[in-house]
Chain A
Amino acid sequence: MSTDNRSVLKVKDLHVHVNSSQGMSTLVQDINFELEKGKVLGIVGESGCGKTVTSMSILQLLDRKAMTIDGSITLKGQELNGLREQEMRKMRGKDIAFIMQNPMSAFTPVFTIGEQFVETIKSHTAFNTKQAKELAIEALLNVNLPDPAKLLAKYPFHLSGGMLQRVMIAMAACLHPAVIIADEPTTALDVHNQLLVLRHLDQIRADYGTAILLISHDLGVIAEMADDVVVMQQGRIIEAANVFELFDHPQHEYTKTLLNARLQLPF
């Protein structure tokens, strides 16, 4: 594997085990991939194959009491696996941002969107409250949320699923991190907002060299955004290829099944 300085995120021999109510089991194994500056790596695979577990282990968000993470995860050369929570917290949001699969769990119900957004910005920058609020408003406009000042005064449960998802995307993108891990970022968005959000993420990528790990079951999202794609099945990577290669010459049976299952529209 290359060690040139374009590589921002490197996952090597990742294995995750869990000790759950069902006993010990392996959730993902032999995961290896590398993400370069300004590139988009797509991850596809069946529901339950380990995409979220992989991203949560990169971010060190898995429950350390129940899970064991083996292997190496390096962000710009720094080892993340086993890093103290205090250190990790400084990096999350600033160097490596996360767009969670479930928008609701990214927010605390008891604080307003504004309080949470401003706090996140302030904890990673030297901004005062007014500056942070201005940045938040601009970020919300970037994801097509109307009336951002009013929106900041609302509580998470006042927003629709897709509105909350866009707030989370705005938060992840506004500090222009080196890496964004986007776990099913457009599941609650109508097609037009989906396109606007993808455009915005792509703009951040082009302007700031942000690398994106893009998990999506939507092959349209992958076709639009990804440079390379890995296909996962039952906790393992079964195929990795350039996105054009993958769509034109899928190797693995499962990849072929997945591509063939695309629903067709009569227009």
Chain B
Amino acid sequence: MELHPVQSTGPQETFVLNLGPQHPATHGVLRVKLTMDGEFINDAVIVAGYVHREHEKMGENRPWDQFLPNTGRIDYLSAMMYTHAYVGAIERACGIEVPPRAEYVRVITSELNRIASHLVWWGAYLLDLGGMTPLLYAFDDREKILDLLEALTGARLTYCYYRVGGLAEDLDDGFVEGTREFVKEFRPRLKMFRRLVSENIIFRKRVEGIGIIDAEMCRKYGATGPMIRGAGIPNDVRRAEPYSVYPELDFEIPVDPAADSMARYKVRMEEMEQSLRIIEQCLDRLPEGPVMAKVPRVLKPPEGDYCYATEAARGRFEVRIVSTGKPVAHRVRLRTPCFGNLSLFEEAARGMMLADGIAMMGSLDLVIPDIDR
């Protein structure tokens, strides 16, 4: 059969457009090389690595507990969950039993952290789409969470609050009341957010049916968290591989089968609601007692290979440690959610309009240091 070249109907010209490394929509130093055909994305190549800091290597050249400050700096927006995975891995290796009070406090602070993280995403996403106001409202509420956590841990982002075997310090006086008050105040605010944004016609036109990322693609690239739940699969580490006290708590895993940007948006909004429920239950059940287990001064996990996964705000975060019985790790592997979530951008963005591509990228909720780590 003879092949005929496709008749071109106009000048076929593509050009390369750099999105980043300094671009407000990438929320950090990420570069995406776009091959554009007019307004349409022909091809996208991700160039990551601008903020690579060798966290894994750092974990392998210092005593186990000295890696703790690093864990808060991988994904600075959900520092609590990241530290939880790392201390959890060591506790599993050493067979340390964490006191129940410490576990409950860990869950409360993690969920507060999740809400704070989703609020940043919510504000920044709408900023990407051109709405300035929601960001300010979101930061108003986030500020309250950060104040609570600051009074508790002494820091606003890089908490470094968990220790192997428990917590650095017990709760401070105002924390329980402060958190209860926050939960009470935040529910109507969430409702207000919904009326302000989720039903807004301009917003809906920009996200509904746009940026379809189906379950198949999520599986292919290892996308987790709200990405895969927004594709209709109820995959959540808190339920799939329960850790800490999550099995005792009553909460739902929000899913949305629509698989578009709106689905991911809705899942995250619903997750905040569920986090509030978890916090309330934990506050009601908070047991008395110590917050720190007996832990040897120098940690030497027995020889072996251990994993611990947590559900961070952006998806599954997993720490794998390989110990040779020495006070220093042989291998620390960090499986971060954003890397998988970003990888599918190349495939998903093909054929999209540039503005829609940005709207889709925002719905991935990227934190760049988490990709490069």
Do A and B interact? no
Give the B-binding residues of A (Cβ under 8 A).
none
Give the A-binding residues of B (Cβ under 8 A).
none
